A = this chain, B = another copy of it.
Amino acid sequence: MSNRITPRSEDFPRWYQDVCQAGDLAENAPVRGCMVIKPNGYGLWENIQAPLDRMFKETGHENAYFPLFIPKSFLDREADHVEGFSPELAIVTHGGGKELEEPLVVRPTSETMIGHMWSKWIQSHRDLPMLLNQWANVVRWEMRPRLFLRTTEFLWQEGHTAHATAEEAEEETLRMLDIYERVCTEYLAIPVYKGPKSRAETFPGANCTYCVEAIMQDGKALQMGTSHNLGQNFAKAFDIQFQDVDGERKLAWTTSWGVSTRLVGAVVMAHGDDKGLVLPPRVAPVQVVLVPIFRKEEERAAVIAEASGIVERLKQAGVRAKLDDREQLKPGAKFFEWEKKGVPVRLELGPRDLADKQVVCVRRDDGSKTPLPILGIEAALGDLLDEIQKSLFTRAAERTRAQTSRAGSMEEFERMLQEPGGFVAAPWDGTDESELAIKERTKATIRIVLDEEAPEGACILSGKPAKRMALFARSY
């Protein structure tokens, strides 16, 4: 296990791998494409789950759990869905020592299983809206796995809702997209663009897929979350009908939406630096670490006592604080370790600080070092953590602005994809063909179709009159 972190400028993908390892986030599992999420990575995921779960519940959703295994025949019922997912499926053929009569699919997503159950549960308009969410693992066979970003098994939440009208389904789809935006910006400190995907990038079986997209430090886009308006496609495939107030039987309108452990990878790539992880305070498993410093044994007791007291008071005040009192490690080694792990604030307390009734406070995001009075440290650190959170967002927002440009021609487009990189808005004729041709030529795909009807200018590819502005980027 090498301790060196490859600089970002040298090799960004390698830097990412190094930081995931140095930050103790995750490792590749002995099963190809799967990962082991270590405590620091899982703690981060728990802190992403908490606000999501709270917001889902505040908007009327309830958690439920549907089976891991889905009969293969269920997927076949929705043509686009089965076509989209077939190449990625893991198949169980034997169970309990016998070959199964019908092979079971390990869920890649649960629209089909939930559609099947809803056809029984939903009978009347009184059963609507049906607002469910599930925290689960899913499996999509991955040929080019990368920790958190693309793994054969990943953890996620999948929301599934059914509504009486098309309007309500569309409102729900957008409401959940807004929640994803809030979690990205307010918790992960990552600014996002949001909007609809092009038809080519739409979820298999959806009428429309909306997404939130962010730019990473290497200028590539990362899809952070998606929210799908499924129209009546799954209601038709699974016969989800209800008797409406007017007495008529109607097909329901459904939605689904999800974010995954990929968001952990987003945090790494949006904020990390050449020293390792840089975690936003609101999702950091440890927000403040206190490293006691002493040379002589007689200094030890007083320093440790004060340090324990400070950490205890911080915990009481709701700060996720930790005292690093390991005896076998020197302070320098501890600094190095917590730096790699991205802990937002490090406090140092030595005999001299003790005499001065202060601690030395070191920010992970900018490396600045300032003394802080022990008296009232809870409030001061609360403020500091807020400030760091804001500062990380501001930095990411400035980077996003600098890496968003607008091209009027293919020449400009290709130049801007190189420099500044990131997102390039360009007029597009609205056809799959042009989108595909642009992708083949530049490796950039449409991340979001911008909300500008009939823009000026001509499609950068075909030269035909533009139908839409689209936000292109090379992406993960």
Contact = CB atoms under 8 A, between A and B. Distances in A.
Interface stretch (A33-41, A294-302, A391-399): A33-41
A6 to B, nearest CB: 21
A137 B90 CA distance: 16
A91 interface: yes
A64 B91 contact: no
Contact of A91 (B43, B71, B92, B117): B92
Contacts of A42: 62-65
A308 to B, nearest CB: 16
Interface in A61-99: 62-71, 74, 86-97
A116 interface: yes
B62 A31 contact: no
A154 to B, nearest CB: 10
A94 to B, nearest CB: 4
A38 B127 CA distance: 14
Contact of A69 (B31, B113, B132): B31
A90 to B, nearest CB: 5
A155 B135 CA distance: 11
Given A87-B97, A93-B94, A96-B141, A43 B63 contact: yes
A380 interface: no
B155 A65 contact: yes
Q: For the side of the interface on A, what is the size category?
A: 35 or more
Contact of A63 (B29, B39, B66): B39
**Copy count, this protein chain:** 2
Main secondary structure of the interface of A (DSSP, over half): mixed
Nearest to A29: B67
Contacts of A91: 92-95
Q: Which 3 A-B pairs have the closest CB atoms?
A: A96-B141, A39-B62, A34-B67
26 contacts: A27-B117, A29-B67, A29-B117, A30-B71, A30-B116, A31-B67, A31-B104, A34-B69, A36-B66, A37-B66, A38-B64, A39-B62, A39-B132, A42-B62, A46-B63, A65-B155, A68-B139, A69-B152, A69-B153, A88-B96, A89-B94, A90-B94, A92-B92, A92-B93, A93-B94, A106-B106
Interface of A: 27, 29-31, 34-39, 42-43, 46, 62-71, 74, 86-97, 103-104, 106, 113, 116-117, 126, 132, 136-137, 139, 141-143, 152-153, 155, 326, 328
